[in-house]
Structure 1
């Protein structure tokens, strides 16, 4: 498309992830007939990110398996997808976006689905390996068979999943993190320690309560880390210390931004003709307050909600957050939203590896997690927000549907 061409107004979606794909899909399913354009900086059609740190690294899936829709789907549904291109400016008064190559596109409604980028270590210009995009995962997958020592900075979901994938393929793996246990800020000390023991059992070395204080560099590459526990050398170093929402476009356009693009419960920003969805959206939840959620399920659901808002169907952000993980022989699903300080109640035998966890606040179930027990997550979702006696939650002889 040349800089002189101007498309008919319709919906323009900035970003190429699952939120973007589901916005387009839902718009067409609801009968939206005007043009839809997706603009993505990535060269790959919108895809699911969870396999990047799990099945793809293990060689069990290819990137094509994670693509939300193939090119034929977009063509058949009259959705224009512009890959490898960046939006540089939003002109709210003119209702246009400008691309890096100079193309100007008008919009009736703009959807910001710009996602997030990996947080990196400060105070160094050396290249840092992170895992966010296809090319990152492809590079890590190519390096794992070479073996050697991998050091992962960060004991969150990405760090632990990559540790599991690399260790299962023979790499020596060390995880460095400042917290007392992995996932402590999310799940509390007891459940965090269970994940720690899982990794130790499979040969991962955990250096907890350890801070990175600097990097060891050679020829612009990080060869090791200076830490509060001493220097650490490695053949491969992955930085997995969280993500930063991509809010620059929104900020430059004068939209309200606070840990993401601020939206109401319908995903409308401070400009009613601009919506935000997915990792970048700090949205008002009807019961949980303001949330910015970086999970696969939320990107799908918010993409659908953005389309519903455009079509005026009246839905709002009211679902409980959901995510899952697979690490070694542990698979789990989590639903809800709880503070790590919440009371923890366990049903089943943690040592046996099959159990359910509930997080309670003032006796009310705020979140639940099923570990290696399947087809119960919908039952757990139904318990969120209810006040349930602890003895009933702990008792596996009482069916979840009877609580």
Structure 2
């Protein structure tokens, strides 16, 4: 998604320059969030609809199933696994991340979830009342569990949280969130982790750390990613939980840029950070393309993140810590779980995160609240963001 947005950003300022996109994905750029959401919930939305159309929109040369094996900043070249050497004037590292591995070796019935190929594999393993175990209770795990249970799949979600979502949401909201999954028919194994197991030709035995074993047709990991910095490190670029860039998204080499999941950058509100969400990919991608093509203004967008599961959508800016002190502003007679805003405060009363629960279109206002570093309390926060 970063590569697609960057190509569009370049073209907005440079109609003639040559753009080459090299990626080890088997598919050209596509919308990644749909892999765990819309492709499962909208029968009229297909993989063809999910194609970003990068080549046709920008004239970029898109090469798939190509891995860059070396970067030479001095010569300004990259080398591919096929032996091709390409020169560049400006280079963008949009390498993203690799899924964190699980304890059972991946194979035909055990997979991590990151790419369109992973989506197709899981689709083949799901449905017809097959049983899929999802390991991991954060964004990708909860989205996959919701997607599977809505597609004729017996679904077990294994999460280390004692209540699903407790690491992100205050206790009352976490209980409501867990209830959505229970009502949908997801079997929850809370306070547990996958400790091991073995795959068979016709299924998987999944061992939990409490000593129980779950028989399943497939196991899918949703543990998040590790940023892919190997290429940058080998080239001598500065790396620290991602490829380090400045406010113009340049790395320690002025001709090499980085953006998206892999980039650690200075955010005007969040401070030095690395963000693994779609808004960041799209906005930073567009900005870095423009910067590569001559833009001089710094990148200054603070990204939000979102999830949409089981009829509920939440958006957030900043850090969601379920153990933090909160001010909860539920704005309907439904109380907790109805439309509302949750503000997360540090020990000094400063807002460090804002959760918008079924309150769309207010992320700019949430960012403004975060930018205000003065101490806050219920009196100053209630009613500050409304769902009107």
Residue 21 of structure 2 is matched in structure 1 by: 38
Q: CA deviation at 1:169?
A: 2.3
**What SS does the aligned partner of 1:41 have?**
coil
Deviations 1:79-120 (A, max 9, x none): 221122111111121110111222111011111001112111
Q: Give me the TM-score of the superposition, normalised by structure 1.
A: 0.86
Deviations 1:330-382 (A, max 9, x none): 11222233544432222124446322222223333332222223333333333
**What SS does the aligned partner of 2:124 have?**
helix
Deviations 1:9-68 (A, max 9, x none): xxxxxxxxx111111111111236432211111232211100100111234321222222
Q: Give me the TM-score of the superposition, normalised by structure 2.
A: 0.89
8 Å contact kept, 2:176–2:337: no
* 1:3-402 equivalence runs, <5 A: 18-31=1-14, 33-60=16-43, 61-75=45-59, 79-122=60-103, 124=105, 126=107, 128-218=110-200, 223-229=204-210, 230-348=212-330, 349-351=334-336, 353-361=338-346, 362-386=348-372, 387=374, 388-395=376-383, 400=386
Deviations 1:239-280 (A, max 9, x none): 111111112211221222222212222222122211111111
Structure 1 residues 109 and 161: CA distance shift in structure 2, 3 A: same
| More displaced stretch, 336-345 vs 293-302 | 336-345
Residue 4 of structure 1 is matched in structure 2 by: none
Distance in 2 separating the partners of 1:72 and 1:143: 33
Structure 1 residues 352 and 83: CA distance shift in structure 2, 3 A: closer
Distance in 1 separating the partners of 2:195 and 2:125: 26
Structure 1 residues 282 and 186: CA distance shift in structure 2, 3 A: farther
Distance in 1 separating the partners of 2:339 and 2:185: 21
Distance in 2 separating the partners of 1:375 and 1:163: 26
Distance in 2 separating the partners of 1:22 and 1:319: 15
**What SS does the aligned partner of 1:43 have?**
coil
Q: CA deviation at 1:189?
A: 4.2
Structure 1 gap ranges (5+) = 1-17
CA RMSD of aligned residues (A): 2.5
Q: CA deviation at 1:206?
A: 1.6
